[in-house]
Amino acid sequence: MRPFSYERATTPAAAALAARARPGAKFIAGGTNLLDLMKLQIETPAHLIDVGPLGLDRIEETPEGGLRIGALVSNSDLAGDARVRRDYGVLSRALLAGASGQLRNKATTGGNLLQRTRCPYFYDTAQACNKREPGSGCAAIGGFSRQLAVIGVSDHCIATHPSDMAVAMRVLDAQVETVNAAGETRAIPMAEFHRLPEDRPHIDTVLPPGDLITAVTLPRPIGGTHVYRKVRDRASYAFAVVSVAAVLQRDGTGRVAFGGLAHKPWRVEAAEAALPQGAKAVAAIALAGARPTHENAFKVTLAERTLAAVISDARG
């Protein structure tokens, strides 16, 4: 690890201000992704601002009947919250399918959204990677790409976003609340929060550097059957190969988002109109334009079949 100075944040706005004032500064929340990357010198912040002392660890009801989840609520506490379990089951399920009990106790809501890709070439500093080192190339294209993206890819990067939680938040139409150094707040819809790689894969999200996530809000509950199905190489403690988050209503309508397929949770609202016709019809629209590699073409079929299993489970 490279040396760094360290401070404990006092207020959200002061934290954002401190991040702007110190070049090379980064926030640290649970530390479960950032410290991993710092040990490998993939992240090399000169200064850490610990956002732990900010509180921001409460889950409150909003005046609209939804929930406001503080950025520092742990993944365990969010999954275990009685209201989330009752009204937003897909979110509890997605969280419980991620990482391990130990990691979920430390991982936070904000940190989970901003965790970086698990592309093996991003992790290997001997390899070309446009995300880690802009302009260096992409060793994954033509390399071991079984785990990587099949849709929304570019000639510069085919990485996926690894979060399970984010896929459920996308299907629930969550919003990410932020504050910047000037004290201005913003609410960013999950649909826009994560970017596609295009020609700037080193930028994962639309959040400007130094802006702090303060909360994620969920709109009023929408009822329905909530399902998160994660397909992975072993039964537990592995990232998704493909995942499906769905909220399905009795009349056959619903919402669907996919994980493991793209640089962001993959949801195509227009495809959801085809839900009454079944998984094939939805996948034909949602995954139109997929550009898999020779190693991960199976993901397109797997995504459709996983959705078929989800629909059939939900119908009981």
Q: What residues numbered 273-302 form the site for ligand FAD, per CB under 6 A?
A: none
| 5-8/47-50 β-pairing | parallel
- Choose between 275 and 296: whose C-beta lies nearer to ligand FAD: 296
Q: What torsion, rounded to 10 degrees, do the Cα atoms 75, 77, 79, 82 define?
A: -160
Q: Do 156 and 130 contact (CB within 8 A), yes or no?
A: yes
Q: Do 155 and 147 contact (CB within 8 A), yes or no?
A: no
Report if residue 70 touches ligand FAD, rule: CB under 6 A: no
Report if residue 310 touches ligand SF4, rule: CB under 6 A: no
End-to-end CA distance of the chain: 51
Rounded to 5 degrees, φ, ψ at 168 are: -65, -40
What is the rounded CA–CA span in Å between residue 273 and residue 281? 9
To the nearest whole angstrom, how small is the minimum distance from the Cβ of residue 166 to ligand FAD?
7
> What angle is formed at CA 260 by the lines to CA 124 and CA 50, rounded to 5 degrees?
60
Report if residue 213 touches ligand FAD, rule: CB under 6 A: yes
Per CB under 8 A, the list member of 236, 251, 294, 316 interacting with other proteins is 236
Per CB under 8 A, the list member of 58, 60, 61, 86 interacting with other proteins is 86
Q: What residues numbered 138-197 form the site for other proteins, per CB under 8 A?
A: 143-144, 147
- Choose between 157 and 274: whose C-beta lies nearer to ligand FAD: 157
Amino acid at 170: R
Residues 136-175 vs ligand SF4: string with x where CB under 6 A? --xxx-------x--------xxx----------------
Signed CA dihedral, 265, 270, 276, 279: sign only: negative
Q: How many residues bind other proteins (CB under 8 A)?
A: 60
To the nearest whole angstrom, how small is the minimum distance from the Cβ of residue 151 to ligand SF4?
14
Report if residue 180 touches ligand FAD, rule: CB under 6 A: no
Signed CA dihedral, 150, 243, 193, 203: sign only: negative
To the nearest whole angstrom, how small is the minimum distance from the Cβ of residue 169 to ligand FAD?
11
Q: Do 122 and 41 contact (CB within 8 A), yes or no?
A: no
Report if residue 237 touches other proteins, rule: CB under 8 A: yes
Q: Do 304 and 287 contact (CB within 8 A), yes or no?
A: yes
What is the rounded CA–CA span in Å between residue 73 and residue 213? 12
- Choose between 14 and 297: whose C-beta lies nearer to ligand FAD: 14
Per CB under 8 A, the list member of 97, 227, 261, 271 interacting with other proteins is 97
Report if residue 127 touches ligand FAD, rule: CB under 6 A: no
To the nearest whole angstrom, how small is the minimum distance from the Cβ of residue 132 to other proteins?
10
To the nearest whole angstrom, how small is the minimum distance from the Cβ of residue 50 to other proteins?
6
To the nearest whole angstrom, how small is the minimum distance from the Cβ of residue 121 to ligand SF4?
3
| 47-50/25-28 β-pairing | parallel
